[in-house]
Chain A
Amino acid sequence: MSATSEILIHGGRLIDPSQGLDGRFDLRIEDGVVAEIAERIEPKGGDAETIDATGLIVCPGLIDIHVHLREPGFEYKETVKTGTRAAAAGGFTSVACMANTDPVHDNRSVTGHITSEAARWGYARVYPIGAISKGLLGVELAEIGEMVGAGAVAVSDDGKPVMNAELMRRALLYAQHFNIPVIQHAEDLHLSGKGVMHEGEWSTKLGLEGIPGSAEDVMVARDLILLDDTGGRYHVAHLSTARSLELVRQAKKKGIPVTCEVTPHHLVLTDEEVARSSFSTQTKMKPPLRSEKDRLALIEGLIDGTVDAIASDHAPHHADEKDVEYNCAPFGILGLETTLPLCLERLVHAGLISMSRFIELLTIGPARALNIPVGTLAPGKLADVTIFDPDREVTINPEAFRSKGRNTPFGGWKLRGAAVATVVGGRRVGV
């Protein structure tokens, strides 16, 4: 990290959907904030750091609003340090981390631990998400106000759903005092049962217990009904089915304050991958890889604006934990170091969405969903910048990941797109 107070990024194609910008612009950063954007800028001072972005894309720093940094408690899987290094390597300048740590992030001392570790390493901004309920037990509200006071930006029991409708209603009401969203991992546990993959043709063929799409849908439907009464803000994490998407689409039309995110893996893979990989545990996550019909519906949601954000649900696990029978493996795969090339190759280069829409889904879209002051290069705003080469050919190599995890189904995939540099608060991040 250098401490230059002025950075000039010149020659690139600057895309900032928050300002409707897409063109050849230079960007000058001064004292950690965006100073100016113009067609041609000369450095003001003599010692300005310059970054030649010719042939590259310059955009607001990418944001992943759904990651698991595993600290405290599961440092053998990931830490704030390694997770944010992975974020920087993948082109992300901000991440929001989930509360299923040990101890659970349900009180301000854990919030403080996460923010101080993040400040210590500085590879990316970390926005902690606190638990909705104490101990993630789904019984009583956690100390949401104190956590927000210490830096939490949202609450979620992610990893577990809030099964109790009354507790959910209370959370939606109480969170409004702090103007933060309640993020739901939408899964009816009675319907998902002992399921390990999507219920459908492939669970039938493989004899694996299924998780029906309805396990997600009934939860989203229930919460939207509650939200209609309570108001406030509600965000659906890793939305994965056609029907949940339609529920969100209709709710948005009625003006109900809901946002949602989808993961790259649900946009790229389907349940057939479990069979194709011969039971590889790298295909096991929650929600499970869904049907082709669901996958196509999610892409439609990116196109028509129903989806607010792409978020990776970066879920590191130790290699030994995944090297077991399919039923015994933990749910979850990595995302921070694969999201950019996967989405560029399969969404942008494939012609499904524009480069600008793609960037919107990873910048101002997620920033608005969590109401965090990033995702834009408007003058005076925090100077978080990602510079990436959309055409560079890469082969995903898990052994080279900065994350402690190696759990990805994308090892060996040949894709186009790679982060070149990130700037966080006006400081260039070295990985």
Chain B
Amino acid sequence: MVAEPNAPPTRWTKKDLLGISDLSAGEIQLILDTALSLQAIDKRPIKKVPTLRGKTVINLFFESSTRTRSSFEIAEKRLSADTLNFSASGSALDKGESLIDTALNLQAMAPDMIVIRHKHPGAPHLLARRLASGVINAGDGAHEHPTQALLDGFTILQKKGRIAGLKVAIVGDIGHSRVVRSNIHLLTKMGARVVVAGPRTLMPLEMEKMGVEVAYSLEEALRDADVVMMLRIQLERGGGTAFPSVREYFQMFGLSKERLSLAKDDAIIMHPGPMNRGVEISSEVADGPWSVILEQVANGVAVRMAILYLLSGAHEEGNR
């Protein structure tokens, strides 16, 4: 489904942001539009607005994260929310407390929103069912990473002026990637054509049922692509057992400057990070003029501000 340009503006009604699969094209557009209007804050000399003053946000990270966690925290601070960071190590979880008990205890302190990153798919859904606070999924296993897809969509819009009609190639460890799943939902809902590629041993069964084309060679995926998104091999999730060596992997699926020439001349290169130079991408490509990798990171703050703002209900209060 593609958002009609003249469609009436969608209102945000959801308590949680659990995944892109639950969102309509109108809701995606609303988040991207809101992010665009909030991005100006990043450029101000004093990067802070009082929008979420008096709101409390807990960042509940059960898995290590540098980019996403910093990005959420900066977004929260720029909106003047009170934030608390909670990481799994050194917590009650080490003492045998269940996820739901930990969450109910935090809930008792009345936070407005909880941002959760967890290694198990569906962990944010478990919390969302039981907690009154808004729940934002900051990555649940190999399931979804909605804020990453939104910042990717925002970056594509910024660079290409549109999403509809573009060919987007996503290459790498498809099976273990939550980024790819959220991006597929977002890009197909917004009208892009998505091709995924990677070794057969890392390609989930029936991938085409997600509405994408599946390619088993990098060349086929790259041909005439407008956007190329490279993914890391997730060694910690067993991605490394799917092929014999990193050297052989790079020969088959690594993005070099020569191979990039198959894509459109104005193609952009994206990567959700963390990046492994010389494994899935050469430094030449990662640092070249095609690369928008650091702009993705910059846009992440605006997109997360937009989500916090919409979920907090601050826009509703302002309308009263």
Q: Which of B116-134 contact A (CB under 8 A)?
A: 118, 120-123, 125-126, 129
Query: In the complex, what's the smallest C-beta–C-beta distance from A82 to chain B, in angstroms?
Result: 25
Stretch at the interface among B139-147, B271-279, B293-301: B139-147
Binds A, one of B71-79, B154-162, B199-207, B249-257: B199-207
Say how far B104's CB is from chain A's closest CB, in angstroms: 11
A30 to B312, CA, bound (A): 73
- Binary interface profile of A, 202-213, with partner B (CB < 8 Å = 1, else 0)? 011111101010
Complex contact B121–A201 (CB within 8 A): no
Q: Chain A's nearest CB lies how many Å from the CB of B54?
A: 31
CB-based contact B205/A203 at 8 Å: yes
Question: Could you tell me if A278 and B129 are in contact, using CB atoms closer than 8 angstroms?
Answer: yes
Interfacial chain A residues near B143, Cβ < 8 Å: 206-208
- When the two chains form their complex, are residues B122 and A325 in contact, meaning their CB atoms are under 8 A apart? yes
A199-B205 in contact (CB<8A): yes
**Interface flag for A320 (CB, 8 Å):** yes
**Smallest beta-carbon distance A42→chain B, Å:** 60
Residues of B within 8 A of A212 (CB): 205
**Does B178 belong to the interface (CB within 8 Å)?**
yes
Residues of B within 8 A of A199 (CB): 205
Cβ of B98 < 8 Å from any Cβ of A? yes
- The answer on a CB contact under 8 Å between B209 and A325 is no
Residues of A within 8 A of B129 (CB): 278
Q: How far is the CA of A378 from the CA of B98 in the complex (A)?
A: 54
Q: What separation, in Å, do the CA atoms of A204 and B121 have in the docked complex?
A: 11
Residues of B within 8 A of A (CB-CB), count: 25
The docked-state distance in angstroms from the alpha carbon of A203 to that of B175 is: 10
Question: Interface residues of A toward B: which range?
Answer: 20 to 34
When distances are taken between beta carbons in the complex, the residues of chain B under 8 Å from A327 are 120-121, 141
Knowing A325-B120, A327-B121, A328-B120, the reply to whether A204 touches B205 (Cβ < 8 A) is: yes
- For residue A326, CB closer than 8 A to chain B, the reply is yes
Query: Among residues 86 to 133 in chain B, which have CB atoms less than 8 Å away from a CB atom of chain A?
Result: 98-100, 118, 120-123, 125-126, 129
Q: Is A166 in the interface zone, CB < 8 Å from B?
A: no
When chains A and B are docked, how far (Å) is the Cα of A378 from the Cα of B9? 73
B246: Cβ under 8 A from any A Cβ: no
B142-A278 in contact (CB<8A) = no
| Complex CA–CA separation, A324 to B209 (angstroms) | 29
Check A159 for interface membership: any CB of B closer than 8 A. Answer: no
A279 touches B100 (CB 8 A): no
Cβ of A145 under 8 Å from chain B:
no
Neighbouring A residues of B189 by C-beta, 8 Å? none
Q: Are B210 and A204 in contact (CB under 8 A)?
A: yes
Contact of B122 among A203, A204, A210, A279 (CB under 8 A): A279
Cα distance A328–B100 in the bound complex, in angstroms: 12
CB of A140 closer than 8 Å to a CB of B: no
Q: Out of B100, B121, B123, name the residue touching A206 (CB < 8 Å).
A: B121
Is A323 part of the binding interface, using a Cβ–Cβ cutoff of 8 Å?
yes
Given contacts A199-B205, A323-B100, A328-B120, contact A205 B210 (CB under 8 A): yes
CB of B232 within 8 Å of the partner chain: no
CA distance A327 to B123 in the complex (A): 9
Given the known inter-chain contacts A199-B205, A201-B205, A205-B181, please indicate yes or no for A323 contacting B98, CB distance below 8 A.
Answer: yes
Instruction: Pull 26 A–B residue pairs with CB atoms less than 8 Å apart, ordered by A.
Output: A200-B206, A201-B209, A203-B205, A204-B205, A204-B209, A204-B210, A205-B21, A205-B181, A206-B122, A207-B141, A207-B142, A207-B143, A207-B178, A207-B181, A208-B122, A208-B141, A208-B143, A278-B125, A324-B98, A325-B118, A325-B120, A325-B122, A325-B126, A326-B121, A327-B121, A328-B120
5 closest cross-chain pairs (CB), A and B:
A279-B122, A207-B142, A207-B143, A204-B204, A325-B120
Q: A205-B209, A207-B143, A323-B98 are known contacts; what are 16 more A-B pairs with Cβ within 8 Å?
A: A200-B206, A201-B205, A201-B209, A203-B204, A204-B206, A205-B181, A205-B210, A208-B141, A208-B143, A210-B205, A320-B98, A324-B98, A325-B120, A326-B120, A326-B121, A327-B141
Residues of A within 8 A of B (CB): 199-201, 203-208, 210, 212, 278-279, 320, 323-328
